[in-house]
Amino acid sequence: MTDTTRWPILRYEEWSETAAALHLWTQVIGKVRLRLEPLVNHWWNVTLYVTPRGLTTGAMTHPSGRTFELAFDFIGQRLTCDDCDGEHREFALTPMSVADFYARVMTMLDELAVPVRIDPRPNEMPDAIPFAHDTERRAYDAAAAERFWRVLLQADRLCKQFRAGFLGKVSPVHFFWGSFDLAVTRFSGRIAPPHPGGIPNLPDWITREAYSHEVQSVGFWPGGPGADALFYAYAYPTPDGFGQAPVEPAAAAWSDHMREFVLPYEAVRTADDPDAAVLAFFRSTYDAAARLANWDRAALERDHSTR
């Protein structure tokens, strides 16, 4: 029987309002990191990371020379800030507006003498409202947020296992607050054609930098309106025949709408061996992409059993 603590139920319709709030709150925190950290290829400098308690920016250095970290604690249900001088600030994660959350974060940074001014507009969201103007009180279900994070723990662990089987350029396992998903990306080493862009509230040049090189990416998305949580796999550019390639497990399928393979989280959660299901999905979709795109696999791969 699947361990429901490690693999909890996560139906989007049951936590949609909390998910929407968290998506916007993570954008506020992520934009602080975007403002402070030097640009790394493919925007790896802006992401958040899974921790034993939630999500973190990791260490960031302020122009003043002080280093600090912002973190979501989904066990204690707090947003925390710690700096290199031993100073600590926090506030409770409770139902509140995006404007209130934004103001509390900015006040906390001001109090710690690490003020940061960010672009106050959400990215990758249609009809986005600037943070300070989004005054509608948002629901927040702490238990649902914790379940989401506990799924991220498993996705993060399995993405790291998959990442280990590659010798070529590969991203960290990281959480993108714009698209609200956890991802790890492998690179063939070849330049990709310019990405068409077209993502809401995201300049095309940003997307083109992110996809400047040929990739195969896998990850976890917690769902959205009309769609439940899923694991995904895609390649850019998409090789001819990729959508028709046989992949594992049987519950996986190609989505014409999303232009990627998807594996429903519920199928993983209820599988006899969830780990094996996810890893089979990651590896079989990579095998299809690398084979169809003629990657130099001998130079890029390592034996999964090597330690």
Report pLDDT digits (tens) over 30-89.
999 999 999 999 999 999 999 999 999 999 999 999 999 999 999 999 999 999 999 999
Within a domain: 130: yes
User: Is residue 23 included in any domain, yes or no?
Assistant: yes
Last residue of a domain, one of 138, 169, 196: 138
Asked, for residue 3, whether it belongs to a domain, the answer is: no
- Same domain, yes or no: 49 and 159: no
Q: In angstroms, rounded to a whole number, what is the distance separating the alpha carbons of residues 268 and 40? A: 33
Is residue 220 assigned to a domain?
yes
Q: Is residue 274 part of a domain?
A: yes
Q: Are residues 294 and 170 in the same domain?
A: yes
> Domains in the chain: how many in total?
2
Do 154 and 286 have their domain in common?
A: yes
Clarify whether residues 177 and 151 are in a common domain: yes
Domain interval for residue 110: 12-138
Residues 226-258 pLDDT 10s: 999 999 999 999 999 999 999 999 999 999 999
Furthest-apart CA atoms within the chain: distance in Å = 56
Same domain, 182 and 114: no
- Determine the pLDDT at residue 1: 43
Residue 240 located in a structural domain: yes
Is 157 strand, coil or helix? helix
Considering the domain architecture, whether residues 167 and 133 belong to the same structural domain is answered as: no
Q: Flag whether 307 is in a domain.
A: no
Rounded to 10 deg, the angle between the 274-292 and 142-163 helix axes is 50
- Number of helical (H) and strand (E) elements in the chain, helices listed first: 7, 14
185 lies in the same domain as 107: no
| 90, 115, 138 - which closes a domain | 138
Same structural domain, 127 and 230: no
Let me know if residue 247 belongs to a domain.
yes
Q: What is the pTM of this model?
A: 0.96
pLDDT tens, 162-192? 999 899 999 999 999 999 999 999 999 999 9
218 lies in the same domain as 149: yes
For residue 302, the model assigns a pLDDT of: 85
pLDDT at 2 over 80: no
Per-residue confidence (pLDDT) for residue 304, from 0 to 100:
59
Query: What is the structure's pLDDT at 303?
Result: 76
pLDDT at 3: 73
pLDDT at 277 over 80: yes
Residue 36 to residues 106, 111, 268, 298: CA-CA distances in angstroms?
Answer: 14, 18, 38, 38
Q: Clarify whether residues 20 and 65 are in a common domain.
A: yes
125 and 207 part of one domain: no
pLDDT above 90 covers a percentage of the chain that reads: 96
**Which among 95, 120, 138 is the end of a domain?**
138
Task: Give 160-166 contacts, CB < 8 A, sequence gap 24+.
Answer: 160/184, 161/279, 162/218, 162/279, 162/282, 162/283, 162/286, 164/302, 164/304, 165/283, 165/301, 165/302, 165/303, 165/304, 166/300, 166/301, 166/302
| Residue 307, pLDDT score | 44
Q: Are 124 and 212 members of one domain? A: no
- What are 188-233's pLDDT values in tens digits? 999 999 999 999 999 999 999 999 999 999 999 999 999 999 999 9
Q: What is the mean pLDDT of residues 139-158?
A: 98
| Bridge partners, 230 (sequence order) | 221, 264
